[in-house]
Amino acid sequence: MTGGRSLSLIVTGDLVLDEPDAAYWLSGIAPAVRAADLAVGHLEVPHSLRGHEMAGDVPAPGAPPENLDAIAAAGFAMLSTAGNHIADCGAEGIADTLAGLDRLGVVHSGAGASLAEAGAPAICERGGRRIALLSYNCVGPEPGWAGEGRAGCNYLRVDTADGSPIAPAAPLETVSPQAFARLTSDIAAVRERADLVLVALHKGVVHTPALLAPYERSLARAAILAGADAVLGHHAHIVRGIEFVRGKPVFHGLGNGCVVTRALSPAQDHPARRAWAERRKALFGFEPDPAYELAPFHPEAVNAFLGRLDLQPDGSLAVGIVPVHVEPPGRPVLAEGARAREIADYLEAITVAAGLPPIRVAEDYMVEAA
């Protein structure tokens, strides 16, 4: 459908809010989120007080259910949920999370009581146009995948280089033929019902600047060629470059939308989480700044942004970013002045460092191929 006014969308990466006063942690970016006609985020963890701890990955704790209210109040109306932690509290955790989103009127895609439910698109209408979101987890672990009659997340199988189990820290390399076929079929089906199709991919290598895993570009390109209008990448907890495929944007990593958690601190009672907090420093070669006790990520992760998509009356998309600085102990805030330009320059640099075609971020923070 064409005609009418332009629509503004804000798209963000991971939302992990398991600390009290979630509204405060979101308040630094909420003005930009609320100003959009539609804001899309990625809900990383279950929001539940129930459930058993899922095996297969280092489990995240369930976040307070009431923090979903803060996410909705901050302006998020559409969420992807397919990721490596959404099943960490089992079927009960997924059920509680989705019930909470439904109560708030937040549409969602990516998790459910079965694969059919997890794979169903989220669809909403803004300004007489229908926006659809499909959400996929590309990094495992397999115990968290949904199945027939089994709760979990929607997924695309990416096999490891050495035949080891599919998991976030494994050497993920090759997209399976079945995954390409399923992605193509899903996009074709929803394309008939929507004016704008967004595909969220939970993908990539965590805590590492610029680097793209071998499968990332081919999978994102397949989504665009199948009919997606934009690809929204997350999982790495650090922003990645932007690529244009046939003029359509691929956000290879939207980084942290808002992540404030003690689950990544070495100073905790949970043995597996404590061990991972130490191991990831050695694996990825960084020492978190102690000032960022609620966001102990790679030092370059303070350079963040919200993605911006402006749907024009003729159906075309204008692409931009809203620069974000992460302040201690982990609160994202809208960046201004010289700091905003530093973040834009960082995005240009990591795009080239990843082997992607150069981009240019203009002074108004709109983005185009260089």
pLDDT in tens, 71-91: 999 999 999 999 999 999 999
Within 10 angstroms of residue 80's Cβ, the number of other Cβ atoms is: 34
Instruction: Please say if the pLDDT value at position 1 is more than 60.
Output: no
Which pLDDT value is given to residue 2?
A: 57
Which pLDDT value is given to residue 242?
A: 98
Nearest to residue 232, comparing CAs of 162, 135, 346?
Answer: 135
Residues 323 and 343: beta-carbon distance below 8 Å: yes
Q: For the whole model, what pTM was predicted? A: 0.97
Which pLDDT value is given to residue 264?
A: 86
Which pLDDT value is given to residue 26?
A: 98
d(CA 140, CA 196): 27
d(CA 17, CA 73): 14
| pLDDT (mean) for 190-212 | 97
d(CA 7, CA 36): 8
Q: How far is CA 201 from CA 3, 6, 31, 72, 351, in A?
A: 30, 26, 26, 22, 18
Which pLDDT value is given to residue 3?
A: 58
Nearest to residue 76, comparing CAs of 104, 97, 103?
Answer: 104
Mean pLDDT (the chain) is 95
d(CA 307, CA 285): 28
CATH number of 7-369: 3.60.21.10
Which pLDDT value is given to residue 25?
A: 98
| pLDDT (mean) for 143-162 | 97
